[in-house]
Structure 1
C-alpha cells in the first residue's frame, strides 16, 4: 500500500525488540554481541546483515536514514555526525585525484572552502556557474568532470535552480548530480524525481527543527551510497545513536512543523515587501521572486527562509540586529525560534565586497529564518527594529 510522505515519516520503524515497544527505544551501545563464532564470521564477511559496531550501523541511525530515504524516494542512505560531514564524506568517497566538479557559485560557505582550499590539495578542481546563468554549465564540463553540484533554494539568497534542467545535463554528460536539499527538506521537494543521484541534508536545520542536535544524511542511488558508506565507516564521521533517535523523532513532526513555517514565512514576506525601509524581499513563493514559477513547479511550499535588503548598508544591518528584541541573533536556521542574520557583517564578513555581491549578498541583506512563534509577533519585532533605522 502506497503511503503519503506524512505517514512515511511516522510509520517507518526498525524491527521492534522482544518488548514490543510502540516508540523506538534508544540503542546506546558502542558494539553488538554475537551468538557464536560462525555468527561473528558471517557478520564480518557481510554474508549476514546485522549491527556490529555503532560506527558502522545502529538501529537508531538506520531508522533515521530509512525515513529520509523513504521521503526522498531514494534507494538507500548513510548518516553523518554533521551536515558538513555528509558533504565532505560524500565528495571524498566519490572523487579521485584529477577529478573535476562543476558547482553553482551560491553554496554554503564551508562547502565553498572545501572546494577552494582543501580539495585542490588532492588535485581536485572546481568550476563555478552563476545561479542565474545555468546555460553556462555545459561550457564548464571537462573530460575529467565527475560531479554536478547545487543547492536549491540557495543559502543565503534563496535563489532557485531548475532541478529538471540539471538532471538532463548530468545525464547527458554522465555526471553524478548531487543536490543539497537542506532548505526545502524532503517534505517540500524531492530532487531524485528530477534526476538527482544523491541528496544531502544538514539534519541540524529543519529536520531537527529545534536547535538541539547536529546531524547529516546523504540518500540516493544504492551503488553510490555503498561507496559513501564504506568511506564513512572507515573515516569515523558517525552520527551518534542519541542524535539519530532525536532526529528520527523530529521526522515524525516535520510535515506539520514545516507547514507552519511556510504559512508564516509567506505572510511575513508579503508584509515586508510593503515596508518603506526595505529595498527588496526574496522568498520563493512570492510572485516577485525571479524564479517564482520554477519554485511553484518543483516545491510544494516556499520554505522558511526569507532574504531581504534594508536601506543603509552594513551599518543599518548592524543597527537592525541591535534593535531586535524577541528574535534570536544566530548563524543557525530552521529552528522553532525565529533567527535573523546579517551575512555581510557576520557569516560572510571575511569575503571581499565583490565576492559577496557575486553570490547576492549585499551590505544590507538580512537572512530571516522564520520559526514557529505566532507570525504577528515575529512581524512586530521585525517592524519595531526597522522603525529604529
Structure 2
C-alpha cells in the first residue's frame, strides 16, 4: 500500500462524493475520517488482535480519550484498576471529572469482586496488564467475564504485553488499546495509538475520534506498518533479554525488589503464565537507596538511555516518580507499589550480557 500523503480526496461527481460521505462506497473523503495507508495498518492490527475493527490514532492518549468519550456519557461511572499509566490517571482525574464522569479506583486484585458486587453501576471497566510500571498482572478472562455478567464494557491497555505476548480480545475483553508508539512501532520514531474491538463498539469510538481530531498522519501509519513487520522477532528478543536481566538482578543484594512476571517469585506468575506467550521486555527494580542515589544510578548508565517511553529496540531507563507518575500523590503511589527508588527499565534488543554489565556498573557507582 502506498503512502497516500493527502488531506483530501477527489471525486468525479457529487453522487460519488455523497456515497462516500454516507459510507455506501467505502471511499475515503478526508484523512481526518480515514486514509488508505492508515486503513492498511488498521487491518493488520485487527488480524493480530482477533478483532473486527481497529482505529489508529495520533497517540495512545488519543486512543483512550476517543474510546471513553465515544462510549461513556456524563453521569456514568468507570471502574479502573489503581495501577495504570500516570497520563491515564491525569486524564481520569483532571478531565473526565469536569464532564461528570466519575472514576472509581480499586486494587488490581479486587477488580473482579468489585464488578461482581456492583451490578449496573459501571459503564466501563478499565485496566492494564502487565501494569505500568510495576508489572502487576490482572487475570484478563476473569475480569472480562465479570464485566460481561454485569453489563459493563471492558477495556484494557495492553501496551506492555503487545499482541505477540497476549491477545485480550480472545479472552473476552471488549476493547483493546495500545500506545503504538511502543512495541508496535518499535523504533521510537512515531507517536501513535490503537483501539480495537467489535464493529458495534468501534462505530462509537470512530465517531468520537473523527470529531476530537486525533488523526494519524499517513506517513506515520507507514512507519507503524514497517514496525509491525518485525514485531514478532523483536518481541522474542525483548522477552529473552528482560527475563535474563530479571533473573540476574533478583540475586543482587543491592536491589530490594525486581518486578517481572516471568519470575517464579512474582506474586502473579501463575496468571501470567496462563494468559501470556511471553513476559515482555519491561521490568522494574527497586533499589536499596533513596531518590538521590536512584537518580545517580540512572545517570551512570551508558547503554540504557536516560529517557521516557518504552518498547523500542534501544534500552531505556527512567524513574517513574520523576516522569510517568510525576505529580501523583504519595498515597496513590504506595497503592501502585511505586517508590522513590523504583527504576523502570525498557529492555531493548542489545546483547544481554552488555546490558547486565551496564546495570551492575551503575550499581557499583552508588555503592
Q: In which range does the TM-score fall when normalised by the shorter chain? A: over 0.9
C-alpha displacement of 1:53: 1.1
User: Does 1:221 pair with 2:198?
Assistant: yes
Distance 1:346 1:31, change over 3 A: closer
- Secondary structure of the structure 1 residue equivalent to 2:231: helix
User: Does 1:130 pair with 2:107?
Assistant: yes
Aligned residues of 1:189 and 1:299 also touching (Cα < 8 A): yes
Distance 1:46 1:350, change over 3 A: closer
C-alpha displacement of 1:324: 1.2
1:272-297 CA-partner distances (Å, limit 9, x unpaired): 01112011111111111111010011
C-alpha displacement of 1:312: 1.3
C-alpha displacement of 1:358: 1.1
C-alpha displacement of 1:310: 0.8
- Secondary structure of the structure 2 residue equivalent to 1:179: strand
C-alpha displacement of 1:41: 2.1
1:289 to 255, 259, 266: 266
Aligned residues of 1:189 and 1:300 also touching (Cα < 8 A): yes
Aligned partner of 1:256 in structure 2 is: 233
**d(CA) in 2 for partners of 1:56, 1:136:** 40
Query: Matches of residues 27-38 of structure 1 in structure 2 within 5 Å?
Result: 27-38=4-15
- Secondary structure of the structure 2 residue equivalent to 1:309: strand
**d(CA) in 1 for partners of 2:117, 2:216:** 35
**d(CA) in 1 for partners of 2:77, 2:355:** 44
Aligned residues of 2:180 and 2:194 also touching (Cα < 8 A): yes
Structure 1 segments, 4+ long, off by >6 Å, are: none
Distance 1:318 1:138, change over 3 A: same
- Secondary structure of the structure 2 residue equivalent to 1:132: helix
**d(CA) in 1 for partners of 2:290, 2:253:** 15
Query: Matches of residues 72-83 of structure 1 in structure 2 within 5 Å?
Result: 72-83=49-60
Aligned residues of 2:85 and 2:325 also touching (Cα < 8 A): no
Aligned partner of 1:246 in structure 2 is: 223
User: Does 1:58 pair with 2:13?
Assistant: no
C-alpha displacement of 1:268: 0.8
TM-score by length of structure 1 reads 0.91
Structure 1: stretches of 5+ with no match in the other structure = 1-23
User: Does 1:175 pair with 2:152?
Assistant: yes
Aligned residues of 1:321 and 1:340 also touching (Cα < 8 A): yes
How many residue pairs end up in the alignment? 366
Structure 2: stretches of 5+ with no match in the other structure = none
Distance 1:346 1:225, change over 3 A: closer
**d(CA) in 1 for partners of 2:77, 2:169:** 22
